[in-house]
Amino acid sequence: MPLLTTDAIILHAADYLESSRILRLVTREAGVQSVVARGARGSGKRFGRAMDLFAEGQAQIQFKPGRDLHSLTGFEVATSRTGLASDLGRFAAASAVAEVVLRLVHDEAAPMLYLALVDGLDRLAAADGDAIVPVALATLWQVVAEVGFRPALAQCGECHAEIPPDQEARFDPLAGGALCGRCGARGAGRRLPPSARLAIGRWIHGDFHEVENPEARAHQRLFREFIGAYLPDSRALRAFESWERGGW
């Protein structure tokens, strides 16, 4: 059975039997993987004491051909991100990001997505107040772009005509993003002001700028509607919806 040593982040954890845990990891070299960490709830010698949600480190995964659940033989924690657990708003935002990654990312190598996620979680762990929502949104839009669902913003998602930067546009998830005046005349999607298109474009390119809180809440709804058109199944995004609802 091949052994892979790779950078990884824990995005989901569940207790298994008396002393083990089942984890879902996003890795640099192998995308999202499900692993069982046998004895992880017992002695800390094998996996350390800080192997919690959003912890990052070197994972050693023993792959089992033909299986969806592999064995985690070691995990050396490098970054624990305790700042995410110390604030409910940060934790809710990070949970929403993790949920989207787990629903969209498969088991292929995704190094650029991994780096974007590392940067986003680090920024979230240090964010306060109104900065939390924009930082999470920037991370989410970068994840979406890296898996191939980058929204059309400067050009029409249907006819590919240029959309002037100062022009309001319709934003239709099924069409892939913004629509020009002609294609948007049928009324599909939400009206998107120029400032909102600019904000999304800046987030995708790694600019973690802030927006006003009411506008940030509208951006949460817009992202949920967009990604809902590309999820592989119809299950609700429960963590995202909880983050969107709660006045953290």
3-80 is classed in which CATH architecture?
Answer: Beta Barrel (2.40)
Give long-range contacts, CB 8 A cutoff, 24+ apart: 197-204.
197/153, 197/154, 197/163, 197/165, 197/169, 198/165, 200/141, 200/151, 200/153, 201/153, 201/154, 203/134, 203/137, 203/138, 203/141, 203/142, 204/138, 204/141, 204/142, 204/145, 204/150
Share of the chain above pLDDT 70, in %: 95
Mean pLDDT (the chain) is 91
Q: What pLDDT score does 248 carry?
A: 57
**What is the arithmetic mean of pLDDT over 207-218?**
82
Percentage of the residues of the chain whose pLDDT score is greater than 90: 77
Decide: residue 95, CB within 10 A, 0-12 exposed, 13-18 middle, 19+ buried: buried
Query: Is the pLDDT reported for residue 43 higher than 60?
Result: no
The model's confidence at residue 42, banded by pLDDT at 50, 70 and 90, is: low
CA neighbor of 52 nearest in space, from 93, 92, 82: 82
From 5-9, 224-228, 230-234, the region with the lowest mean pLDDT: 230-234
Q: Hey, what are 150's tokens?
A: 């980058």
Tell which CATH classification among 1.10.260, 3.40.50, 1.10.3470, 1.20.1440 matches the domain 83-150+190-245. Answer: 1.20.1440
pLDDT at 44 exceeding the cut of 60: no
pTM for the whole structure: 0.92
Q: Hey, how many other C-beta atoms are within 10 angstroms of the C-beta on 64?
A: 12
Residue 209 has pLDDT above 90, yes or no: no
Q: How many CA atoms lie within 13 A of 14 on its CB side?
A: 6
Kindly list the domain boundaries of the chain, sorted by start residue: 3-80, 83-150+190-245
